[in-house]
């Protein structure tokens, strides 16, 4: 929801506005009417988290409106540290910090300049209590310090955001590379199997060629078929390199029987208390390189259920093939709200799964199913489709 995370800021400004209203009360009804537009400036400060530049421009316009309004009514406003009221000062500081943090340099400079210009105009026109003198150093210094504090805070958090984005980018790239290397190792084993078959059949053909040329000829279709299978698997390697030091995941324990491997993984999940229901319909054969990836996706999905949905009472794993596509769906009814995974924070498993599926020419999606539950859906082509 778009209002998520805005309530603490809104609560802060509600307290400040209430305090300012209590100070204004002794001036009568006209002062109360003059105070009302201040709430509009605070509202823009709350919304600045979503639209910082627009909020800054709107806040500048609101300050000008308040200045015109109090001047028309002939009432004085509070001004302790700047030409604006305490609520307006806090609102403009928050907006300045947010706009400097989130917006490009030119946009943030223009937005802050607009608010400063509105404050300067307010200093000239408004009747303040205590009286604010625009050109007196005693009044100008605290205003300058507040502006510097707001801009400095924005620059500090902007630098922190940049560092965090770089760290996330490095971690995501490492997760993607690790998944590519794991996939390359798995496919390397598959291709080695096909090439070994080619070599064995070719050696057999050479052995019997002189004594029985027809027997050697009968071995050629098998050699051609094995070569085609090897080339099809090689296309899925996508240029990744074998790395003996990388974690392989399920590649070390995978067999040539996908159904047996998936049942073994599901049994392991059940042993640790995860209530998994398995439904498989695999009328079409699945190539070994795709089968290994499907097994890895099943294992990673169930691992995520154990980490993030420990309270799930139902977990469904559905695996089927239709029209040349392997379809995997893993659903759970765990809590809808994010929780801290067992054993610490989570890693980049979803990124690795997406990378694996896309490298094989398939699709991948993961997300909440509604109020409760999470679903992982992957579709991998049985033949070809590698990028």
The CATH number linked to 186 is 1.20.5
Report if residue 152 sits inside a domain. Answer: no
| Residue ranges making up the domain that contains 196 | 168-237
Give yes or no: residues 107 and 185 share one domain: no
Output b/e per residue, 295-320; b: 16+ Cβ within 10 A: bbbbbbbbbbbbbbbeebeebebebe
Which one has a higher pLDDT value, 2 or 92? 92
Report if residue 243 sits inside a domain. Answer: no
Give yes or no: residues 23 and 114 share one domain: yes
Is-above-0.85 flag for pTM?
no
Cβ-proximal residues to 236 (8 Å cutoff; 6+ apart), any chain: 183, 187, 289, 359, 360, 386
DSSP state of 248: -
Q: Is 163 exposed, middle or buried (0-12, 13-18, 19+ CB in 10 A)?
A: exposed
Instruction: Judge whether residue 137 has pLDDT over 70.
Output: no
Question: What pLDDT does residue 330 have?
Answer: 92
Q: 37-65: per-residue pLDDT in tens?
A: 778 888 888 888 888 899 899 989 988 88
Report if residue 158 sits inside a domain. Answer: no
DSSP state of 251: G
Give yes or no: residues 184 and 81 share one domain: no
Give yes or no: residues 184 and 297 share one domain: no
Instruction: Judge whether residue 98 has pLDDT over 80.
Output: yes
Give yes or no: residues 20 and 130 share one domain: yes
Mean pLDDT of 279-303: 85
Instruction: Judge whether residue 132 has pLDDT over 60.
Output: no
Instruction: Judge whether residue 171 has pLDDT over 80.
Output: no
Instruction: Judge whether residue 386 has pLDDT over 50.
Output: no
The CATH number linked to 365 is 3.30.565.10
Q: 314-351: per-residue pLDDT in tens?
A: 899 999 998 889 999 999 888 755 444 433 344 457 77
Give yes or no: residues 197 and 280 share one domain: no
* pLDDT-based confidence at residue 19 (cuts at 50, 70, 90): confident
pLDDT above 90 as % of the chain: 7
The C-alpha atoms of residue 293 and residue 254 are separated, in whole angstroms, by 10
Question: What pLDDT does residue 279 have?
Answer: 93
Give yes or no: residues 190 and 219 share one domain: yes
Residue that is last in its domain, among 78, 110, 135: 135
Report if residue 27 sits inside a domain. Answer: yes
Instruction: Judge whether residue 159 has pLDDT over 60.
Output: yes
Give yes or no: residues 260 and 374 share one domain: yes
Residue that is last in its domain, among 181, 216, 237: 237
* Beta carbons of 41 and 67 less than 8 angstroms apart: no
* Beta carbons of 35 and 6 less than 8 angstroms apart: no
Give yes or no: residues 296 and 219 share one domain: no
Give yes or no: residues 43 and 96 share one domain: yes
Positive or negative, the CA dihedral 39, 44, 49, 52 is negative
* pLDDT-based confidence at residue 99 (cuts at 50, 70, 90): very high
Residue that is last in its domain, among 92, 115, 135: 135
Give yes or no: residues 282 and 344 share one domain: yes
Mean pLDDT of 25-39: 64
The C-alpha atoms of residue 322 and residue 318 are separated, in whole angstroms, by 13
Count of C-beta atoms within a 10 Å radius of residue 260: 10
Give yes or no: residues 301 and 197 share one domain: no
Instruction: Judge whether residue 1 has pLDDT over 50.
Output: no
Mean pLDDT of the chain: 75
Number of domains in the chain: 3
Kind of pairing between the strands at 325-332 and 374-381:
antiparallel
Instruction: Judge whether residue 190 has pLDDT over 80.
Output: no
Question: What pLDDT does residue 341 have?
Answer: 40
Element (H, E) at 365: strand 363-368
The C-alpha atoms of residue 178 and residue 75 are separated, in whole angstroms, by 68
Angle in degrees, 0-180, between the axes of helices 29-47 and 86-102, rounded to the nearest 10: 10
Report if residue 163 sits inside a domain. Answer: no
Question: What pLDDT does residue 183 have?
Answer: 67
Farthest CA pair distance, the chain: 118
Question: What pLDDT does residue 306 have?
Answer: 78
Candidates 53, 43, 45; CA nearest to 111 is 53
Report if residue 106 sits inside a domain. Answer: yes
The C-alpha atoms of residue 237 and residue 228 are separated, in whole angstroms, by 15
């Amino acid at each position: 929801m778009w209002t998520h995370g805005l309530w603490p800021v809104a609560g802060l400004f509600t307290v400040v506005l209430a305090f300012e209203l209590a100070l204004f009360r002794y001036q009568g009804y006209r002062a109360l009417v003059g105070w009302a537009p201040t709430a509009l400036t605070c509202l823009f400060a709350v919304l600045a988290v979503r639209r910082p530049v627009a909020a800054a421009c709107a806040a500048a316009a609101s300050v000008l409106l308040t200045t015109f309004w109090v001047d028309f009514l002939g009432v004085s406003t509070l001004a302790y540290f700047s030409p604006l009221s305490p609520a307006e000062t806090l609102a403009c500081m928050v907006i300045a910090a947010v706009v400097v943090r989130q917006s490009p340099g030119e946009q943030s400079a223009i937005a802050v300049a607009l608010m400063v210009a509105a404050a300067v105009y307010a200093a000239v026109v408004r009747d303040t209590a205590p009286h604010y003198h625009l050109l007196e150093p005693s009044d100008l210094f605290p205003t300058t310090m507040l502006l510097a504090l707001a801009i400095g805070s924005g620059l500090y958090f902007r630098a922190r955001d940049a560092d965090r984005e770089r760290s996330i980018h490095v971690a995501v790239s490492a997760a993607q590379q690790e998944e590519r290397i794991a996939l390359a190792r798995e496919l390397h084993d598959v291709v080695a199997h096909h090439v070994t078959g080619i070599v064995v059949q070719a050696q057999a053909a050479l052995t019997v060629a002189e004594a029985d040329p027809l027997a050697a000829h009968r071995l050629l279709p098998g050699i051609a078929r094995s070569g085609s299978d090897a080339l099809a698997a090689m296309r899925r390697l996508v240029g990744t390199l074998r790395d003996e030091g990388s974690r392989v995941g399920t590649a070390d324990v995978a067999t040539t029987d996908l159904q047996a491997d998936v049942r073994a993984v599901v049994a392991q999940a059940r042993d640790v208390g995860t209530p998994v229901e398995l439904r498989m319909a695999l009328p079409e054969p699945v190539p070994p390189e795709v089968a290994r990836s499907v097994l890895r996706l099943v294992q990673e999905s169930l691992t995520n259920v154990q980490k993030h949905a420990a309270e799930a009472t139902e977990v469904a794993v559905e695996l089927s093939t239709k029209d040349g596509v392997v379809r995997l769906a893993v659903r759970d009814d765990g809590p809808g709200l994010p929780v801290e995974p067992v054993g610490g924070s989570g890693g980049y498993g979803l990124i690795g799964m997406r990378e694996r599926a896309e490298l094989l020419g398939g699709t991948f999606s993961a997300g909440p199913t509604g109020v409760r539950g999470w679903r992982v859906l992957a579709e991998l082509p049985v033949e070809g489709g590698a990028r």
